[in-house]
Amino acid sequence: MNVISYFPSLYPDEVLYSACARYKKHTNIKAQKTSMEALFGNNHLTASVDFPSNINMLLQQIPRDVINYETLLQKHTLFPFYKPFLPLERVEKVRELMLDHQCTHNIPGTIGIMSYGISAPRNLRYCEDCISEDSLNYGEIYWHREHQLPGIFHCDKHQKLLLETTVNYSGKGRKHNLITLEEAINECKYIKPSRNYIVQNDLMLKISNLACELLRRDVSSLGLETMRSFYKAVLSKKGYITRKGNIRFKDLIIDFNNFYDNELLFLLESSIQKETDTWLHKLLRKPRVTCHPIRHILFLLFLDADINLLLNIKKELQPFGKGPWFCLNQAADHFHKPTIKDCSIHYCTHSNLHIGIFSCSCGFTYLRKGPDKTWADKFRKDRVYSFGEIWIAECKKVYINPDLSLREKSRRMGVDPKTLIRYSTTNGAESSAAETVKTQIELEKRTKRLLRNINNHETPSRSVIRRENPRDYIWHYRNNREWLYSILPKNSKRITKQRIDWLKTDNEILGPVRSAINNIFKYDGKPIRVTRAEISRRVEKPNIIEYSLNKLPKTREVISSFIESTEEFQIRRINWVFDNWKQNIELSMWLFKREVGINKESEFIKKYLKILFS
């Protein structure tokens, strides 16, 4: 390994790709692969803008005082933009892959970018005002990290439209090329805006600002479940959650579409049509797949949230702090001790306060409105749901004590006198005796009916008896199960067929399915639509996917997250044809449609083409 003696210091917000390009220029290296070999010890690497790999090798090659791994990852890659919305285990996996000098994995695929449905920028971009400032402050210009964020079209600092160069973002056509911003500007015959049509409004600037804040601030990995819980808590405050805890998706989608311009959502590839399964449904339902940060940003702005709320999101979701919590059962020997492990948190739309329901193993369950502001709040209860047997037994003992006044008895049990009397006099001997007689009468009636039902059949089976008299069967099953089993006929032995180990099959076929999906997306030619049939054709056991997918939960989940709708596939074809259009052929709408192969186009596709050709 040859350690290089010089590597330029990285400027504020400079993407690592830019520093490598400046190194190549400063050292006057002509061959692109030679630069990659010198920096990363591998001339086959792609010069990646967003997720560089083999960072460990780079740090071993350059002088040690230039930069460390953590600073490089947080301040000079796009990783912090995606990190908050990924599960912790996936965050660690991506960090591993970016560091590993023998990494051959697809890092965007590991994050899940391919399934997002949001395109990366076509080319690298810059801001004119930033160029002037950088030239004045540093004597040279460089590629800014914030300017390369997907879905961002303005410079957050100057609030000006970004300009697009001809340097490809994804590495297509420049796999090993390291091109400085100065070289890119000098080589361009013309510079164009990053989109022909940009929605010029405050929302676009707010989106840019929140996206850039994600890069600048160290927002920890929140994960899918935490984000979903946070969203549901805020939606509950705004009245989008029913009493049963369901999301009012119809009202939510209408208000969301009214909040954003249609053109803005089209531009960010995040339109929400009147469908049963949109990206918003995937974001808010039980989390199975990750969602693009831009879509999180769109929803956060709709909820009037900012970066500070994201930084304190876990505190927001813990209005009663971390457990265990204190038991407030004055009859228990663990009174005022932290024995409660279960706390169910709800939100009251009338008072706009969190409600915590605390359940102890002694049977004592109480409610408290939050959040807890002081230490004394942890010993407060607003209502008791259930006292439990320990409390009731002690209540009866205290009640019959002649040496205590009624007020003192109530104080000792922590309730008012009426509650004390009610729990001390109910469920007494007379009440218990009456209940016993009532139960005995019901037992005799149900037993006679069930025996009569059994005797009506010469060879009765359990399923027949249960089907003909379900009410008595279920009652005995719950209250007199031992007797029920003694009078029922024995289960007939069934000849068991050889069973397929579906769990094993699911794990075995999951890898080939992921490989097939990856190959479809990576295909160099005209895009192929990702369908269940196409995936099954590319694995060894296609019939299992075609006819038994419901028995393969992991495989079904992966396939469902990648399957493309007609519109999604048409957009991917449109983008591919547009990016690969031959320069010597005039670009016309009818010729473009024929090349794409669009027979029927929806309103969404019409608008998308209109924006593309505007």
Question: How far apart, in whole angstroms, are the C-alpha atoms of residue 56 and residue 78?
Answer: 17
517 and 477 within one domain: no
Residue 432: pLDDT band (50, 70, 90) is: very low
Alpha helices in 172-247 (DSSP H): 181-187, 202-216, 223-237
Q: Whats the size of the chain, residue-wise?
A: 614
Strand-by-strand arrangement of the 365-369 sheet: 342-348, 353-359, 365-369, 383-386
| Of residues 16, 6, 8, 7, the one with CA closest to residue 143 | 16
Residue 104: pLDDT band (50, 70, 90) is: very low
pLDDT at 293: 92
Residue 85 contacts residue 291 (beta carbons within 8 Å): yes
Lowest mean pLDDT among 69-78, 258-267, 286-295: 286-295
pLDDT of 109-122, one tens digit each? 777 665 567 888 88
| Of residues 126, 113, 118, the one with CA closest to residue 151 | 118
The answer to whether position 250 is within a domain reads no
Which residue, 162, 193, 224, sits at the end of a domain? Answer: 193
pLDDT of 197-226, one tens digit each? 454 578 889 999 999 998 998 788 887 878
Q: What is the mean pLDDT of residues 189-197?
A: 51
139 and 41 within one domain: yes
Lowest mean pLDDT among 101-105, 273-277, 513-517: 101-105
Q: Residue 370 above 50 pLDDT? A: yes
99 and 27 within one domain: yes
456 and 528 within one domain: no
pLDDT at 431: 41
The answer to whether position 598 is within a domain reads yes
538 and 454 within one domain: no
pLDDT of 221-242, one tens digit each? 887 878 888 888 888 888 888 8
pLDDT at 158: 92
123-126 and 163-168 beta bridge pairing? antiparallel
The answer to whether position 178 is within a domain reads yes
The answer to whether position 454 is within a domain reads yes
pLDDT of 321-348, one tens digit each? 888 899 999 999 999 999 998 887 776 6
Domains held by the chain: number: 3
Residue 169 contacts residue 122 (beta carbons within 8 Å): yes
- Alpha carbons within 13 angstroms on the beta-carbon side of residue 122 total 15
183 and 77 within one domain: yes
What is the chain's alpha carbon radius of gyration, rounded to the nearest angstrom?
Answer: 33
Q: Residue 160 above 70 pLDDT? A: yes
Q: What is the mean pLDDT of residues 241-253?
A: 84
Q: Residue 139 above 90 pLDDT? A: yes
Q: Residue 10 above 90 pLDDT? A: yes
186 and 72 within one domain: yes
176 and 88 within one domain: yes
Amino acid at 338: P
Q: What is the mean pLDDT of residues 142-149?
A: 95
Q: Residue 493 above 60 pLDDT? A: no
How large is the angle between the packed helices 417-425 and 406-413, nearest 10 degrees? 90
The answer to whether position 265 is within a domain reads no
Burial of 330 (0-12, 13-18, 19+ CB in 10 A): middle
Residues spanned by the domain of 173: 16-193
Q: Residue 129 above 90 pLDDT? A: yes
110 and 44 within one domain: yes
